[in-house]
């Protein structure tokens, strides 16, 4: 099914730029690309703590007197 979508001139200009830059053949491909980008999972945090062990990361998070 094909449908018509109304967008402002500024939005159309942006869609044209993306279409050209990404070498896409239709505005539908541009919209699908933008949707996929918007819903993809967040960036991985792998490696954030470097090569520390779990014990090193957790060390000092809680004082002895905090424990019950």
Domain ranges of the chain: 7-40
Span of 20-29, 33-42, 51-60 with lowest mean pLDDT:
51-60
pTM value > 0.85: no
> What are the Cα distances from residue 59, in Å, to 34, 38, 48, 53?
42, 37, 16, 10
- What's the pLDDT score for residue 40? 79
In the block, residue with structure tokens 């957790």:
58
């Amino acid at each position: 099914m094909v449908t018509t979508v109304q967008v402002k001139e500024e939005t159309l200009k942006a869609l044209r730029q993306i279409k050209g830059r990404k070498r896409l053949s239709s505005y539908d491909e541009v919209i699908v690309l933008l949707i996929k980008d918007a819903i993809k999972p967040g960036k991985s945090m792998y490696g954030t703590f470097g090569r520390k062990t779990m014990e090193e990361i957790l060390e000092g998070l809680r004082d002895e007197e905090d424990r019950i």
